[in-house]
Structure 1
């Protein structure tokens, strides 16, 4: 791979190292105030031999004179049985004036961070400022990003409870975030929901 080709690709690790939640939330807040981009979508679906349906989605967005981007994502729910991500994605960025390709970006990390930041922006605008307890419903790939993003805008959160259909996956998430956070498991979703200050859901 040449130097130019290596610079063309932005990895998930580079995104993690250089894109913080606080700055991303601020950027999204600004973007939501601007004129909407021109968007176009394509969705392909395939029924599997089991009871699940696989999807392939393409979304293109064009900010005229600035940037043109295409996100391609596959949603294969059966991947979880093999411990693979159910959602996998790639993003390609083009110059909005010349149409020249600028970068290929790891779509998984980009999606996780952008989705989590948008969710946290919602809690910044709608949730009370003195939230103390966060309930995380779901323990998939999105969950740690949502937890970190929400805490970045609601730093008074002192306790995180996690509910998930699979206790094993829930416990792995908790172990990965300890001792950084005071995070515990819950099996009683109705009770946890009624006592949480903030609820974040990431389920399929």
Structure 2
């Protein structure tokens, strides 16, 4: 069994190929039982363990174990760490143990970009990233793969971090750190949020016609990045119905407030990609994509790492 480090994951994957791998896997489908979600209560705050299995009918088998420690920011460490075990499908023999944090970051950003490819206006050229964690630069890279992004704005609770991130991309984009979130939201074609917030950051009244809101962060019922009006004004899409209805705090809290009903969810990614259900209704519509992550995405990304690595060998 090969051990594949975070550096090898990043050195092997490429956004176009990974995004297309995800698209094909969503179209074809895999077996994906509900993920195990375990809260770990600690003196420094709550952490989360996730266990996510998936397998193809006649192909690979995989399982991810990931730990989410929001308090790691205080120690200068990534919030997400873990590992992925990829096995061959005929006999169940393990093939690789892959760094789970890197795999999660790549597949999460790729799924957001895939959704933006299906839902945002084709001419979308300005991107606002809300959050400055490990995922933020990857969201910039991934969205720029599927849309003609030339203007990037970055907002974070720590202005020094957002300024440093903006500096990294200034040679490629018109890229600036911002402190006025309301104005930045109003001026962006795509808004991508990747935070662990438990209070709304984005207000629905700020969203402009034609914009696309990508909600990556809040992956538990107690978390949210938007107020209810963001959803009442928008056409709402999700990565999977099961994940959205079970863990998407933005949606669940809006439902509790009466701002959203399950029937308001337009489609999950598989339905968009197979053409079973349509995407945005018009260029003036506001679209929202809410993801909490799916084991299908991890399996697809792990296969892409394994096969791309083998091709290079």
- Does the TM-score normalized on the shorter chain lie above 0.5? yes
Residue in structure 1 matching 2:95, options 92, 102, 111:
102
Show the counterpart of 1:114: 107
1:165 aligns with 2:162: no
- How many angstroms does 1:53 deviate by? 0.7
Number of aligned residue pairs: 196
Residue in structure 1 matching 2:14, options 11, 20, 26:
20
TM-superposition CA deviations, 1:33-91 (whole Å, max 9, x none): 113323242222122224x2111111111213201111111111111001001111210
- Unaligned segments of structure 1, at least 5 residues: none
- Residue pairs, 1:132-147, within 5 angstroms: 132-147=125-140
- How many angstroms does 1:103 deviate by? 0.5
1:46 aligns with 2:44: no
Within 1, Cα distance between the matches of 2:94 and 2:80?
Answer: 24
Residue in structure 2 matching 1:176, options 155, 168, 178:
168
Residue in structure 1 matching 2:48, options 35, 44, 55:
55
- How many angstroms does 1:18 deviate by? 2.0
1:36 aligns with 2:26: no
DSSP-derived class of the 2:157 partner: coil
Show the counterpart of 1:198: 190
Contact 2:150 2:174 survives alignment (8 Å): yes
DSSP-derived class of the 1:38 partner: coil
- Unaligned segments of structure 2, at least 5 residues: 197-313
Task: Report the RMSD for the aligned CA atoms in angstroms.
Answer: 1.4
Within 1, Cα distance between the matches of 2:64 and 2:89?
Answer: 15
DSSP-derived class of the 1:85 partner: coil
Show the counterpart of 1:65: 58
Contact 2:30 2:57 survives alignment (8 Å): no
DSSP-derived class of the 2:22 partner: helix
Per the normalisation by structure 1, the TM-score is: 0.91
Contact 1:177 1:183 survives alignment (8 Å): yes
Greater share of strand: 1
Contact 2:116 2:143 survives alignment (8 Å): yes
Contact 1:67 1:95 survives alignment (8 Å): yes
- How many angstroms does 1:166 deviate by? 1.2
1:189 aligns with 2:184: no
